[in-house]
Every structure is written in structure tokens, then in C-alpha cells.
């Protein structure tokens, strides 16, 4: 029988005298299950400096707008390849591949040895063979000794590889090209890589993408702000833009998050 965690409980009460020792908060990427709790704990841990790459930093700031009673956050945007001193510890950051831009891993240098933390592990592959990008990502650890490696991943108990994102994107592009009517696509708003692929595939076919969902709209605003896409073929559902009828010959891809 596979072990399961049926209940989780996050202890956010900091023992007396310990809060002052929290020097920094590192954001590995902008997925909501990794940043959504910040407004609930940031005051309890003393508003430490938050280190994040650009996309994650903007996501954190957007989330914070929903909590106007909290203090302004001290966010430092980094490139993802720095060595940062936090008290007596040093933290080295390094970029990793993920379904959202600007993801990174951490190497925490301690007097006892280095601790490597890699979040949401996704080994992108082609037919079970890791891509060159993945190999290069982990190659940096080949000739070094580390005290501990911590990783998290969904469905970790299942053997083998998950389906490559390249395969998913190729299949989506095929349907977007071939379907003559409107096509409804549902995806997580945080699947930024996939959303961009849908937008690009639709644009190549001269098709529009109608968007619904608050988080989806927010993330598209960030995508445009960071110039990851010009979003020329985007129509926000419920806006003033008129949707051509089904008989017009245009297909629509409606992404819901």
C-alpha cells in the first residue's frame, strides 16, 4: 500500500526569540501553491527580505495587493545565478526548467555541508531520455559532495517519466490547426509555458484566443509586461471586443484557468 498524507498542518507560530533570526525568504517560482501563503505568514516571521526572480516577484506583488492591511514587502529581484549572504549562511541560486518562467533552485552553504533544494522537479524528456537542458542543469552537482538533496514532485511514487511538455504542445497545436469551429481548452493559469504555446499556435493559424478567469487574466498581464508575448490575438471574455460568429470561419481557443 502506498503511504499517503491525509491531513497537512502548517505551523506558522515562530518560537519566542527566533523571529529575529529569519534573514530571508527565497521564492523558487511563482506558482500559487508556493507563494499563496506569504500574506498569511509574512508578518509572523518579521517581514524578511524576499529574494525572487522577476516573474515570481511580480506574482508575489500581485498577490499582496489583495491584502492592503499588510506592510509593503521588501523584494529583491535576482537573476537566478547569484550567491547571497544571509547571516552566517550563503545561498547560491541557479536556474532550472519548469512550466513557469524564472524558476530556480537553491544551494544552501552551511558549516556542515551544502544543502541542495530543488522544487517541483520536472525532468523534461523525449521518450524517457532527459533533454540536454535537463542534463546541463544537474551536471553542476556531478563532481561535488553535498550533505543533503531535497526535492518535491507530484506523483513521485509512480515509476517512469511524465509526458514531455513538447508532446503536449505538439498535440495542442495539431488540434488548434485542424479544428474548424471553436475549441475550448482548459488549463491551470499558472501553466505559463503551455499558455504561451497555445497563444503562439493560435496566432500562427490566424485564430483568436478568448480568455476567462481572474488568475488567467492576471498572468497574461504579467506575460505582456515582461514582453514574453505581445498578445495580439487575445480577447478577454466579458470585454467590449466582439466575437465573430461560428459561421465566420474563424476558430476560437478559449482558455480557462
CA distances from 159 to 156, 209, 212 (A): 8, 36, 36
Q: Strand order in 49-52's β-sheet?
A: 24-27, 49-52, 75-77
The C-alpha cell at 18 is 527566533
Whether pLDDT at 129 is above 80: yes
CB neighbour class for 149 (10 Å; exposed up to 12, middle 13-18, buried from 19): exposed
Q: What is the band of 97 on the pLDDT scale with cuts at 50, 70, 90?
A: confident
Residue whose entry in the numeric block shows the C-alpha cell 511563482? 30
How far apart, in whole angstroms, are the C-alpha atoms of residue 123 and residue 64? Answer: 31
pLDDT at position 241 over 60: no
Residue 6 CB burial class (10 angstroms; 0-12, 13-18, ≥19): exposed
Confidence of residue 247 (pLDDT cuts 50, 70, 90): very low
Average pLDDT, the chain: 84
Map residue 247 onto helix, strand or coil: helix
Residue 145: all three cell numbers together: 559532495
10 or 143, greater pLDDT: 143
Predicted confidence at residue 98, as pLDDT, reads: 83
Q: For residues 86 and 20, what is the distance between their CA atoms, to the nearest angstrom?
A: 12
pLDDT number for residue 5: 60
What number is the average pLDDT over the span 167-180?
90
- Mean pLDDT, residues 136-157 taken together: 83
Question: Which pLDDT does position 24 carry in this prediction?
Answer: 94
Please count the residues of the chain: 257
Q: Where are the alpha helices (DSSP H) in the chain?
A: 32-35, 38-41, 54-64, 132-139, 165-178, 192-204, 214-225
| C-alpha distances out from residue 242 to 126, 205, 228, Å | 41, 19, 25
Give the H or E element holding residue 249: none
The answer, yes or no, to whether residue 80 has pLDDT greater than 80, is yes
Q: How confident is the model at residue 153 (pLDDT cuts 50, 70, 90)?
A: confident
Give the residue among 105, 53, 81 at the shortest CA–CA distance from 222.
53
The Cα-based distances of 27 to 37, 118, 206, 239, 240 in angstroms read 12, 11, 37, 34, 37
Tell how far CA 32 is from the center of its chain.
8
The SS3 call for residue 240 is coil
Note if the pTM is more than 0.75.
Answer: yes
Question: Could you give the angle at which helices 165-178 and 192-204 cross, rounded to 10 degrees?
Answer: 30
Amino acid at each position: 500500500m502506498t503511504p499517503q498524507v491525509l491531513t497537512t498542518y502548517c505551523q506558522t507560530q515562530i518560537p519566542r526569540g527566533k523571529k529575529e533570526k529569519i534573514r530571508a525568504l527565497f521564492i523558487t517560482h511563482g506558482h500559487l501553491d508556493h507563494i499563496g501563503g506569504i500574506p498569511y505568514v509574512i508578518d509572523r516571521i518579521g517581514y524578511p527580505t524576499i529574494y525572487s526572480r522577476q516573474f515570481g516577484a511580480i506574482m508575489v506583488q500581485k498577490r499582496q495587493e489583495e491584502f492592503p492591511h499588510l506592510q509593503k514587502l521588501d523584494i529583491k529581484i535576482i537573476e537566478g545565478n547569484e550567491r547571497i549572504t544571509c547571516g552566517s549562511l550563503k545561498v547560491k541560486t541557479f536556474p532550472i526548467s519548469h512550466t513557469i518562467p524564472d524558476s530556480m533552485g537553491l544551494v544552501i552553504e552551511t558549516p556542515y555541508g551544502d544543502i541542495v533544494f530543488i522544487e517541483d522537479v520536472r525532468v523534461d524528456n523525449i521518450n524517457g531520455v532527459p533533454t540536454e537542458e535537463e542534463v546541463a542543469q544537474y551536471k553542476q552537482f556531478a563532481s561535488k559532495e553535498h550533505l543533503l538533496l531535497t526535492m518535491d514532485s507530484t506523483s513521485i511514487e509512480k515509476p517512469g517519466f511524465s509526458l514531455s511538455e513538447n508532446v503536449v504542445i505538439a498535440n495542442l497545436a495539431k488540434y488548434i490547426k485542424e479544428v474548424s469551429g471553436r475549441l475550448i481548452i482548459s488549463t491551470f493559469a499558472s501553466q505559463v509555458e503551455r499558455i504561451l504555446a497555445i497563444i503562439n499556435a493560435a496566432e500562427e493559424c490566424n485564430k483568436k484566443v478568448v480568455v476567462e478567469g481572474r488568475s488567467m487574466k492576471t498572468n497574461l498581464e504579467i506575460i505582456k509586461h515582461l514582453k514574453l508575448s505581445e498578445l495580439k490575438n487575445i480577447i478577454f471574455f466579458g470585454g467590449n471586443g466582439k466575437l465573430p460568429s461560428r459561421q465566420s470561419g474563424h476558430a476560437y481557443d478559449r482558455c480557462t484557468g
